[in-house]
Structure 1
């Protein structure tokens, strides 16, 4: 299941609750586009800002709107007991798999990170994807830690941060990590501007922010890489540089929030405070980029 394009939509919110209608529409668009899987309640889905009840409800809505497309649900939280409860909610909702980032306030040791995955994975009846996202969690996975976790029951995938830009170095990095993992565990790339590099280097999946709003564009890039056309995948990514630049400066969540609003798919605002929308100059820059890239329809 952890192969191809996994598209991660926003979870639009008001100041008091989830915008259920908009969220349902966003997920249904992805299912209709034919993405390989949908990632609900990831970082783009704002999981850390929602209550357990809201997350359980969002999981149920997403399963229904996904209409049979495999659905991965984020279950990250600060305490192991909370993660286990969220995993139970996701499984009851009908999720195909779960995604776990090691959220923390106190810095975690490698043994504590391993213990989190050990405790949670033994209780699961669905596959788990390890979310290696040091930019958000400040947890830095060593290869040894990845290998330890990958051998736990129900661990089926790793979602890694961007690779080195040089194709040879990126491929060597993927091969080094893969040599430590069971054959049953796939490697997927995140950080959208690095997706082509990761896919061309041998990653089996792209966990995509832009795919959550522009699935056809992300699918075209993914399929080019899967077909072995590295040059086309790279060219398609380079064409999207106006978006990648905005992602790097403002954060992909804020950019996708503004894009969804500009497309009329969500209300304004749609992010939970204290998060703020893009400033007006960036809003205009995004509008110009979407028009030039043909992404306004």
Structure 2
């Protein structure tokens, strides 16, 4: 479950609620493509904007739509007690695993983050992936803290932030962290634009935003990495460079992938929770041009 391609779909919504049919269609498409796991209610899934009840419903829809593909549910929240409730909901709904980021308003200390994970792990019967995403949580894990947390029961993977584009630097970074964690804990790369480097450098999985909309494209890169074909991995990723440029220009992957989903009719407009908006005007035209250039469908 924590190796290969973990595809993270959008949670399409408007101010009245989640567009359930559209969400189910996205998950069914991932299951049909036979991704290795489906990551629901991560940052791409806009978990922080949803109530507990809405998150439970999304979890139920995901599990029922995913067939035999494992579903990993994001359970991040500001308070530990809320994370525990979300973990219970996810397990009752049939989630195969959970994904936890140290969400906070006040800056957390290392000991507070460790205690947070320790408490949650005691309540779990499914494996947990540590979600290291300083861009949204504003908390930076040290390698030493990762090592402490990785030895907790139920922890089976670390979703690491983007690595250096320099392959030697990326290998050194992965090796440093690998030396501190148990052998049965996998490392997965996030950050689509550098996923190829992370996979070549030794990551076990790709936690992928683009894979949530274009699973076949992401699977081709992942399978080449698993076969040890670094040349093909890099070639396939380089072909998507116009897409990665959009990420860099427009502030990350969420707005870009949501805009693409709207343009292709995979979701209705609007699909993001206010105050978030998809790209409009000249920026949207740029996205349309890249979709046509890369023949993405």
SS at match of 2:123: coil
What is the TM-score normalised by the length of structure 2? 0.98
Matches of 2:129 and 2:264, distance apart in 1: 31
Alignment: residue pair count? 296
What residue in structure 1 maps to residue 158 of structure 2? 158
Residue equivalent to 1:24: 24
Equivalent residue, structure 1, for 2:268? 267
2:291 aligns with 290
Q: In the alignment, what sits opposite 1:220? A: 220
Q: Determine if the alignment matches structure 1 residue 95 to structure 2 residue 83.
A: no
Q: Please give the per-residue CA displacement for 1:97-150, whole angstroms capped at 9, x wherever unaligned.
A: 000000000000000000110000111000000000001101000011000000
Q: Counterpart in 2 of 1:57? A: 57
User: 1:54-98 CA deviation, whole Å, 9 max, x = no partner?
Assistant: 000000000000011010000000000000000000001100000
Farther-moved stretch of structure 1 (235-244 vs 192-201) = 235-244
d(CA) in 2 for partners of 1:22, 1:28: 10
Corresponding position of 2:40: 40
1:246, CA displacement in angstroms?
A: 1.0
Partner of residue 280, structure 1: 281
Superposed CA offset, 1:142-179 (max 9, x none): 01100000000100000000111111111111111101
1:249: Cα distance to partner?
2.1
User: Where do 1:1-297 residues align within 5 Å?
Assistant: 1-250=1-250, 251-296=252-297
Report the 3-state secondary structure (helix = DSSP H, G, I; strand = E; otherwise coil) of the residue aligned with 1:83: helix
Structure 1 segments unaligned to the other structure (5+ residues): none
SS across alignment from 2:254: helix
SS of the equivalent of 2:18 reads coil
The 4+ residue runs of structure 1 with deviation greater than 3 A are none
CA distance in 2, matches of 1:44, 1:249: 18
Deviation at 1:279, TM superposition (A): 2.2
- Long gaps (5+) in structure 2: none
SS at match of 1:43: coil
State how far apart, in whole Å, the 2-side matches of 1:77 and 1:281 are.
35
Helix, strand or coil at the partner of 2:13: coil
**SS state at 1:169 partner:** helix
CA distance in 2 between counterparts of 1:232 and 1:61 reads: 35
C-alpha distance in 2, partners of 1:164/1:174?
10
Q: TM-score, length-normalised on structure 1? A: 0.98
